[in-house]
Amino acid sequence: MPATTAVLERLPLFRGCTAAELRLVGRFSELVHVPHGEVLVREGRPGHEFFAIAEGRARVDRRGRTVAMLGPGDHFGELAILGQGHRDATVISSGPLELLVLDERAFLGLLAELPAFSRRVLEAMAVRLRREDLGPEGALS
């Protein structure tokens, strides 16, 4: 089902977007409900979707080790789309999850059209890179 403006307004990623921009995101995104224990993305596999968590939590594993927990407002998948093309971690739902999903084409189109969204994605990538430079203790929390 398409994401509603009410769901999008709760996500920090879309802070600064106008009502018209949120409607645009809603048209190109899908709101998905996922049960506990579902593998959302698998490390090393090609990645063509971007995800933002609206409700629930997910575990991030790298090389078989849990490196982070994600919750409402967190997002993932942009590195595979913008970078190497493969997932750098496995993400598994830690309970029922409500996710906003954008396919690669929609994600890239929104980056080009929505400056506020682009800036939030870049800021989040910078924070992650900084944490990774700090080593395991700097991993996503």
Structure token digits, residue 10: 């709760």
- The string of pLDDT tens digits covering residues 33-48 is 999 999 999 999 999 9
**pTM reported for the whole predicted model:** 0.87
Q: Please say if the pLDDT value at position 86 is more than 80.
A: yes
Q: What's the fold here for domain 5-131?
A: Jelly Rolls (2.60.120)
Q: Which of 134, 100, 79 is nearest to 17 (CA)?
A: 100
